[in-house]
Amino acid sequence: MFKILIKEMDSFEINKIIAAVLLTALIIIGIGKIADILFFVEKPKLTAYKVEGIDQKTSGKEISIKSNEIEETVDIKALLAMGDISHGEKVFKKCSACHMIVSDGKNKIGPNLWSVIGRKAGSVADYNYSKAMVAYGKEWDFKEMNSYLIKPQAYIKGTKMAFAGLRKEKDRASVILYMNSKSSAPKALP
């Protein structure tokens, strides 16, 4: 039956059908373009949903990420008061895939973290640090470690540490207390 219809249609009728389909497509596209012009909506400069870069006010701390740099004001006493060494030992298991924290321990993917609080960054003699970590060269105190553990890649650009960071304040405080306890001379808490 379809063959009969095609035989009965001449080329002029086929051209009319193709033209109608094309005209319909052009009209739909044209209506969309005209609607965009008539109902122009200026896109916001800032996204409504931010993953990073938000200003957070939480217990004892304010974080803002600007131009991929972390600036923060930390009440380190309040932060460390939230921590617990036994909880820090559990959270440190995330770190133990790359770091060891024992006296005279070996370096793994990352350096041994024994006595890391109070030690200069990039100073373990038999570990090959990134250039960024060596150049950073500050002493790891409680505030520095807290800032670093939020998001290592953002805090020291170019570090080899691929860890995403610890977002929860209690986790960071607990890990810092745990790392401080793993030292031959733990630093006094502020």
The whole-number pLDDT of residue 102 equals 92
Residues 6+ apart with CB under 8 A from 35: none
Taken in order 149, 109, 87, 51, the sign of the CA dihedral is positive
Whether residue 91 contacts residue 174, with contact meaning beta carbons closer than 8 Å, is answered with: yes
- Cα distances from 179 to residues 10, 52, 93, 102, 109, in angstroms, run 87, 27, 12, 10, 18
pLDDT by residue (tens digit) across 13-26?
888 999 999 999 99
- What is the pLDDT confidence band of residue 64, given thresholds at 50, 70 and 90? very low
pLDDT by residue (tens digit) across 128-139?
999 999 999 899
Listed by start position, the domains of the chain span: 2-38, 56-181
Global pTM value: 0.61
How long a stretch of residues is the chain? 190
Q: Which residue has the tokens 């051209």?
A: 15
Strand, coil or helix: 30:
helix
Superfamily of domain 56-181: Cytochrome c-like domain (1.10.760.10)
